[in-house]
A and B are shown apart, each in its own frame.
Chain A
Amino acid sequence: MPKRTDISSILVIGSGPIVIGQACEFDYSGTQACRVLREEGYRVILVNSNPATIMTDPELADATYIEPITTEFIEKVIAAERPDAILATLGGQTALNAAMDLDAEGILEKYGVELIGASIDAIQRGENREEFKDIVLGLDLPEGTADVARSRICHTLDEVLAAADELNYPVVLRPSFTMGGAGSGFAHDEAELRRMAVAGLEASPVTEVLIEESILGWKEYELEVMRDRNDNVVIVCSIENLDPMGVHTGDSITVAPAMTLTDREYQRMRDVAIGVIRAVGVDTGGCNIQFAVNPADGRLIVIEMNPRVSRSSALASKATGYPIAKIAAKVAVGYTLDEIDNDITSRPAIDDITSRPASTSGRRHTPASFEPTLDYVVVKVPRFAFEKFPGADDQLTTHMKSVGEAMSIGRNFTEALGKALRSSERKGHEFWLADDGSAPEDGELELLMAEIVRPHDGRLVKVERALRWGASVADVHEATGIDPWFLEQIVLMQKAGEAVRDASPLTADVLRQAKRHGISDVQIAHLRGTTPDVIRGVRAALGVRPVFKTVDTCAAEFAALTPYHYSSYDEETEVRPREREAVIILGSGPNRIGQGIEFDYSCVHASLALSEAGYETVMINCNPETVSTDYDTSDRLYFEPLTLEDVLEVYEAERAAGPVAGVVVQLGGQTPLGLARQLKDAGVPIVGTTPEAIDLAEERGAFGAVLDDAGLPAPKHGMARSFEQARTIAAEIGYPVLVRPSYVLGGRGMEIVYDDAALADYIERATEVTHEHPVLVDRFLDDAVEIDVDALYDGTELYMGGIMEHIEEAGVHSGDSACAMPPITMGTETIEEIRRSTHAIADGVGVRGLLNIQFALASDTLYVLEANPRASRTVPFVSKATATPLAKAAARIMLGATIAELRAEGMLKREGDGSHVAEDAPVAVKEAVLPFQRFRTVDGDSVDPLLGPEMKSTGEVMGLATTFGAAFTKGEAAANGPLPQSGKVFVSAANRDKRHAIFPIKRLADLGFEILATRGTAAVLRRNGVPTTTVRKHTEGPGPNGEPTIVQLLMDDQVDLVYNTPHGASRGGSPRTDGYEIRGTAIAHGIPCITTTPGLSAAVQGIEALRRQSEGEPLGVRSLQDWQPYMRQDASSAATEGIK
């Protein structure tokens, strides 16, 4: 059945900002979908609020709307574009929910838009747990094949408690229709259940939770299923979770293919999966089905299904080479699986025996209607960010908490596991490298055995240690529920490790055995008491080197056309020789807070630009969620850890294959940047800014000299290698001071401290302060406006990419601060000064490529806060807002192109740059998205949603409009839900903020909001003529007549907006945390909570824009393609022609 011709335009809904549970895997899937649909000749309209995505590149759709994914804005897009169909199964739960809302509000019907992929009925059947269970139990399969956990659906707390009594504790609680399992978890007793039930009912958009029998400790599996409209169904991948039931699959270490199933068990699962997708009625597309298997008797329980492409689909695509999103898009428009090619495999030529002139003949590829088979093992490990949220409970539950993941491929499990652990780039998360001593003290093993019972970040390292310290596989299995097969594999790694440790001398056989079990040079060096360089030398001398195999979907049954490689210590390599000069691009590894999709965006752009410029592009990365790890993004893909050892081996393999121009380290964030120096020392050519220049920018002394030479002021600062040094510096500069470790990204470990005690506390906690790792102490500029600049420099000419003005004051990490472009309050003189300073720094540092500088403007003085000679987090935002592909230009400059040449090509503006913005250009606002709702303390309370110098946001959105207020309100709607247009505002400002807060608060009162405040603030406001209602403080408790406290009001949803700036000075290392209950409660109840005064002022402008709407000034939507001529006055076809 060929593609549908009764539809010609399709609206694709993206997944919005990166949040926990929904990360860049949906950029990968959305990008594939948009590409496919356009290739098929459909007009593609896209809605996605996330500018840091490849899918929102204007080249990928006919009309790209960077607008909030809300019913209101999507309806506006539908009204403007009148698409024939909507595809919502590739944008995660966000897109699926948006589609359901559109349907519920009658918008699909009103505009006559058809939902393709999965129907509303199918979505509801898949997501409604009760209905889903009936479906599973009603499948036409032999008795006992498919079962479900016993459960009760509840809408009130009383129902929840009654259900738990019936099912016996522990029980599982799952709110309906939440993303990434938000709000779900195990309750072991009534108190715990009560707490979770209240939150869960709140989190569910339909106030519904499911209470279920516990299958804690069972084996957990997933199948990825694909179906076409001819009812052909294939299983793309099986995944086995190493962590048994009880840990969200996103937080589990997972393995593909399944390792501990017999064929009988696997086929039973397959039958059930196929039955489910048919019964649920996902007519076309992919879905994911999760199973639990009782290890004692094989009882199979279906846990849930996602009637859409999911995070696991992205993993499965990368794990198998089967591009699920692409195929899902093709079947959604009517193709059947047998009509679609498997791009990777070529068809065998045995025509002499097949003279059949069938329709299928004459194809170059085998079809997509098959099931991939693996001759390797894939391991995924999650990456967490608990260190960013002090007090957050790090226990892993059914509620996803990880912020990223790394995947690796090996020819066996141990090789893949070893590579995955080092790919995750977590200190102490590799075997033997943790500071664990060689033998346990008395009682230590018992303690360790008790610890591993509880699933938490880093448990596997403890499991390994327990086994090494003498715990039996049986005991560890008993404690953790981890299948003995996996534990025995760890024992194999240990034996290989022991052999390495004990060998005298280290022989090729012993080394090879260790490498085949995934043990890194760093680990071997640790075991041998030497350095990784020495081990690398020994390996080279003994000829113990990896080969590179190919991910081909078919275990070599057919020849693979796609160079998608992974390393293994095996015999035969499959890297093909090439003629053209290659550029190797280092990706950014697993997503983490501070290093996420924005860097992948830049890497992908570099690959596209360099490929177009005639280079053969080679990508190295280990993040399965990304576009960069798609096999067709670069000419060659190496799915490898980003460590010195692994990168060097790829470099050597590619050098053997043909000429290599160099390695790009500038675009993938801190991970590749951190390798630059060592790579260069190992003889690898680094293109663009030299490692020396990178070091120079990081090294305070040398960088200070650059600033001095250029006559640029920086806040007073110093570098301390001990507490005494830090105290001296602080005394000289004056408190408050900003302290942080050197060489970090995302403000990791950065704090503002107000006194000696807090400083001492900080130094104590920052355990890594050593001579090599000093602490930086900076003067903290109170009340400064922070400015971010992204610029290009080719050694002669400077091209300002863009200047962003932060909304929040300096001191809030730039990644967490909202910002606007063009700068909304800066005069031309300031802008010229910024340009001059940027040029001086670019020249002084020796930048070739991208440069990001943070300035602070305080009392009309422009201070340089820091300069980073690399792609920054804001590159995609700036590129989108100015319609100029900065990362592409940077890649070209790194390989020797000049800005003048790029201007001539039309890649950069022919005249002027991003600092020259026409008056009718739109204002772009970037707003950060924060994950506070995801975390709870051990006691189940919210974590404090305060912004500070340490970055906490997971993602960002963009609002585009002709005025700042309108752009800001769009940004808020996309990031945190819409601002209120009326109702009650609770205000509570620190003394230092009161003066600035009065005006915006008064404006809110004028707009008709009721202002609530506690006694002190209320008095101040009344004196300023703001009518204010006094409410009781949390500490005052309820009044004599039951008058509620502010916290109670928040809990009762009586407040529509909270403005609360932190009070008080630092005490014992916990700075500015008063008002925690208010902020925490607001976050828990989804009430917008503003914690800075500039943020309040911006919100007021946003609210005004909303209010003007009802006065006949609608908040319109406009596509990037339509904005382009305004963003870039020279925007002509030339600018986009070059960009595929």
Chain B
Amino acid sequence: MTGSHGVRACLVLEDGRVFEGESFGAEGETFGEIVFTTGMTGYQETLTDPSYRRQVVVATAPHVGNTGWNQDDDESARIQVAGLVIRERSPIASNHTSTGTLEDQLRQQGIVGISGLDTRALTRHIRERGAMRVGISTESSADDLLTRVRQQPEMAGLNLISEVSTTEEYVIEPVGEHRFTVVAFDLGIKAMTSQRLAARGCRVHVVPADTSLDRAKELGADGVFLSNGPGDPATADAQVALTKQVLDAGIPFFGICFGNQILGRTLGFATTKLPYGHRGINQPVLDHTTGRVEITAQNHGFAVVDEGAPRETPWGTATVSHTSLNDDVVEGLELRRGDRLVAFSVQYHPEAAAGPHDSAHLFDRFCGLMADARNNAQEA
């Protein structure tokens, strides 16, 4: 179908299904794993979230781009997605924060997108058949594109940490009084995560993924944080090794998303790829500790496999602390020695951005953990 912009584009899934639309953003060709996200707000945060690396994101929201692009909402320095699929583009950006349009930003950063197609049909297809490889092109025929789609690597088995991790250490200074020093291993960290910690008096050293624990100790880590990030957690052996060291050293640990999967593996749980993942900002999670429900932001295609019972580890008892109410997928883990919490992680995104703030208290929990550890050290 042609539209006001006129440049045709097509989207081809690895199982051969083809959708026609018009070019949105940069022209050209792109490949990745197709996933859908159901958030109705927050496309700028989503597009700049490093966890979406090598993924072509379908927005189920009916309109995308209405509020344009602004200076405040980036979650990393660039657009991370491999491609963007939407139904309806916005002719203008309308918001007081906006400094330009989404489409200009996509063009500037060379991100290929497609609009005007039946995103609901596409979403249903992904739901029924699972996430799969995809290509979008303004240049090739559907047949040619399909051949190349099938030549792309699968997401399972892919290690993408080096693609997104910072190469240089940098520091986010605490807001107000400095209370704790956190060393955050960047596996694809979102900007808001550091801000949430900083807001609670943490000096956050964001370090490259391959940084050693010794370096973290040098930096004076009161706690270690493992961030979210793209790729298959089963490949992240280095991070598992690091986490073992952290636990051995008795340093408070907090992980988010990829960090949750790493903690899971460290504690002996398996990880697996979900059929089509959880991506949205309306996901209900039951916190088994409080019995309460939190509406969470999620973005994960892999998950820790639940064993149905607590697991004894060299560092204490590991339990599933949070569960998705939609499908019972593990959404959080905690490690306790006796009554004392020593490490915890969640599969979802308490830093939100985009998403609700129901779980922001987890950053307080991390600070509490660091405070306890400090007190214990003093007592000892």
Tell me the A residues contacting B by CB distance below 8 Å.
Answer: 230-232, 234-235, 238, 257-267, 270-271, 295-298, 336-338, 347-348, 350, 353-358, 360-361, 366-367, 369-377, 411-413, 483-485, 488-489, 491-492, 495, 509, 512-513, 549, 554-559, 570-572
Q: A262-B97, A411-B120, A484-B92 are in contact. Are A360 and B328 (CB under 8 A)?
A: yes
- 7 more contacts with CB within 8 A, not counting A258-B40, A263-B42, A556-B120, are A231-B292, A298-B97, A348-B326, A354-B306, A370-B295, A412-B63, A572-B124
> Are B327 and A350 touching (Cβ within 8 A)?
yes
Our pick among B39, B70, B95 for the contact of A260 (Cβ within 8 Å) is B95
Scoring B residues 312 to 343 as 1 if CB is less than 8 Å from chain A, else 0, what string do you get?
A: 00000000100101111110000000000000
Q: A263-B353, A267-B355, A353-B272 are in contact. Are A570 and B121 (CB under 8 A)?
A: yes
**Within 8 Å of chain A (Cβ to Cβ): is B354?**
yes
B55 within 8 A of A: no
Whether B63 lies near A263 (C-beta < 8 A) is: no
In the complex the two chains form, is A491's CB within 8 Å of B40's CB?
Answer: no
Tell me if B356 and A262 are in contact (CB < 8 A): no
Given contacts A338-B286, A356-B323, A375-B61, contact A412 B88 (CB under 8 A): yes
Q: How far is the CA of A156 from the CA of B204 in the complex (A)?
A: 58
Set A235, A338, A513: member contacting B3, Cβ < 8 A: A513
The 8 closest A-B pairs by CB, nearest first: A263-B42, A572-B121, A571-B118, A555-B60, A485-B94, A263-B354, A354-B328, A371-B282
The answer to whether B39 and A373 have CB atoms under 8 Å apart is yes
| Separation of A288 and B317 alpha carbons in the complex (Å) | 44
Please state if B274 and A353 are interface contacts (CB–CB under 8 Å).
yes
* Complex CA–CA separation, A360 to B323 (angstroms): 10
Residue interface mask B330-367, A partner, CB < 8 A = 1: 10000000000000000000001111110000000000
Please state if A358 and B328 are interface contacts (CB–CB under 8 Å). yes
Q: A295-B96, A355-B307, A495-B4 are in contact. Are A375 and B326 (CB under 8 A)?
A: no
Kindly state the separation between the CA atoms of A559 and B327 in the bound complex, as whole angstroms.
13
Q: How far is it, in angstroms, between the C-alpha of A264 and the C-alpha of B357 when the chains are bound? A: 10
Minimum CB–CB distance from A805 to chain B (whole Å) comes to 54
A485→B60 contact, CB < 8 A: no
Complex: A357 Cα to B282 Cα, angstroms: 24
CA distance A267 to B192 in the complex (A): 14
Q: CB distance B306 to A355 under 8 Å? A: yes
- The answer for the CA separation of A716 and B272 in the assembled complex, in Å, is 84
Beta-carbon contact of A375 and B45 below 8 Å:
no
Give chain B nearest CB distance to A517 CB in angstroms: 10
Residues of B within 8 A of A371 (CB): 281-282, 295, 356
A262–B120 touching, CB < 8 Å? no
Contact between A369 and B38 (Cβ–Cβ < 8 Å)?
Answer: no
B176 on the A face (CB < 8 A): no
Report how many A-B pairs have Cβ atoms within 8 Å: 211
Q: In the assembled complex, which residues on chain A have CB atoms less than 8 Å from the CB atom of B353?
A: 263
CB distance from B119 to the nearest CB of A (A): 7
Query: CB within 8 Å of A: which of B189-208?
Result: none
Q: Which residues of A contact B281 (CB under 8 A)?
A: 263, 371
Q: Is the CB of B95 within 8 A of A559?
A: no
Knowing A298-B97, A484-B94 are in contact, say whether A257-B280 is a contact too (CB < 8 A).
no
B90 is an interface residue with CB less than 8 A from chain A: yes
In the complex, which residues of chain A have a beta carbon less than 8 angstroms from the beta carbon of B282? Answer: 370-373, 554
CB <8 Å contact, A260 and B306: no
B308-A355 in contact (CB<8A): yes
Q: Which residue of A235, A259, A376, A557 contacts B66 across the interface (Cβ within 8 Å)?
A: A259
Bound: A990/B45 CA distance, A: 73
Residues in B whose Cβ lies below 8 Å from that of A555: 36, 38, 60-61, 120, 123, 280
B181 contacts the other chain (CB 8 A):
no
In chain B, what residue has the closest Cβ to A513?
A: B3
**Nearest Cβ in chain B — how far from A481, in angstroms?**
13
CB atoms of B41 and A266 under 8 A apart: yes
Residues of A within 8 A of B19 (CB): 571
Residue of B nearest to A367 (CB): B325
User: What is the interface of chain B, defined by CB distance below 8 A to chain A?
Assistant: 1-4, 19, 36, 38-42, 44-45, 60-63, 66-67, 70, 72-73, 87-88, 90-92, 94-97, 117-121, 123-124, 127, 272, 274-275, 280-284, 286, 291-293, 295, 303, 305-308, 320, 323, 325-330, 352-357
Q: Which residues of B contact A491 (CB under 8 A)?
A: 91
Q: How far is the CA of A361 from the CA of B291 in the complex (A)?
A: 15
* Chain B residues within 8 Å of A374, by CB: 40, 61-62
Instruction: Identify the closest chain B residue to A510 (Cβ).
Output: B2
> Does the CB pair B325–A260 fall under 8 Å?
no
In the assembled complex, the CB of B7 is this many whole angstroms from the nearest CB of chain A, namely 14
Q: In the complex, A217 Cα to B347 Cα: how many Å?
A: 42
Instruction: Give the docked Cα–Cα distance between A262 and B71 (Å).
Output: 12
Q: With A and B bound together, what is the CA distance between A257 and B61 in angstroms?
A: 9
Contact A298 B96 (CB under 8 A): yes
A281 to B277, CA, bound (A): 36
The docked-state distance in angstroms from the alpha carbon of A295 to that of B96 is 6
Question: Which residues in B have their C-beta under 8 angstroms from that of A411?
Answer: 62, 87-88, 120
Among A230, A373, A483, contact of B38 (Cβ-Cβ < 8 Å): A373
> How far, in whole Å, are A483 and B44 apart by their CA atoms in the complex?
21
Say yes or no: A572 contacts B94, CB within 8 Å: no
CB < 8 Å neighbour of B120 from A267, A270, A413, A572 = A572
B92 touches A271 (CB 8 A): no
The answer to whether A338 touches B284, judged by C-beta atoms less than 8 angstroms apart, is yes
Residues of chain B contacted by A336 (CB below 8 angstroms): 293
Q: Which residue from A234, A354, A376, A558 sits with its C-beta under 8 Å from B329? A: A354
Cβ distance B72 to chain A, nearest Cβ, rounded Å: 7
**Is A367 a contact partner of B119 (Cβ separation < 8 A)?**
no
Docked Cα-Cα span, A571 to B123, in Å, equals 12
- Chain A proximity of B91: nearest CB distance (Å): 5
B323: chain A residues at CB < 8 Å are 356, 358, 360
Which residues on A sit within 8 Å (CB–CB) of B117?
571
Q: A261-B67, A370-B325 are in contact. Are A412 and B355 (CB under 8 A)?
A: no
CA A509 to CA B2, docked complex, whole Å: 7
| B125 shortest CB reach to chain A, Å | 9
Residue of B with least CB distance to A368: B284
For residue B294, give the distance in angstroms from its CB to the closest CB of chain A: 8
B325–A360 touching, CB < 8 Å: yes
Shortest distance from the beta carbon of A944 to any chain B beta carbon, whole Å:
45
Residue on B nearest A293 in the bound complex, by CB: B96
Complex partner residue of A571 from B70, B94, B121, B328, CB under 8 angstroms:
B121
> From residue A418, how far is it (CB to closest CB) to chain B in Å?
14
- What are 27 residue pairs bridging A and B, where the CB atoms are less than 8 Å apart in the complex? A232-B292, A260-B94, A261-B67, A262-B73, A263-B353, A267-B352, A267-B357, A338-B286, A338-B325, A353-B306, A355-B306, A360-B328, A366-B325, A369-B295, A370-B283, A373-B40, A373-B61, A374-B61, A375-B120, A411-B88, A412-B87, A489-B91, A491-B91, A555-B36, A557-B123, A557-B127, A558-B326
Asked if B295 and A375 sit within 8 Å, CB to CB, the answer is no
In contact, B73 and A375 (Cβ under 8 angstroms): no
Question: Min CB distance, B139 to chain A, in Å?
Answer: 21
Q: In the assembly, what is the distance between CA of A769 and CA of B161, in Å?
A: 76
CB distance from A92 to the nearest CB of B (A): 28
Q: Are A347 and B39 in contact (CB-based, < 8 A)?
A: no
B121: min CB distance to chain A, Å: 4
Contact of A350 with B60 at beta-carbon distance under 8 Å, contacts A232-B293, A263-B45 already known: no
A1067 to B195, CA, bound (A): 76
A232, B295: Cα distance in complex, Å? 9
A355 to B327, CA, bound (A): 11
**Which residues of chain B have C-beta atoms less than 8 A from A495's C-beta?**
4
B87 (CB) vs chain A CBs: closest residue: A411
A358 / chain B contacts, CB cutoff of 8 Å: 323, 328
Give Cα A260 to B41, complex, Å. 9
> In the complex, A839→B237 CA distance in Å?
88
Residues of A within 8 A of B330 (CB): 354
Q: Report Cα–Cα, A234/B73, bound state, in Å.
A: 24
Q: In the assembly, what is the distance between CA of A549 and CA of B325, in Å?
A: 26
- Give the distance to chain A from B97, nearest Cβ to Cβ, in Å: 6
The listed residue with most B CB atoms (<10 A of its CB), out of A231, A263, A296, A571, is: A263
Residues on the A chain within 8 Å of B275, using CB: 348, 350
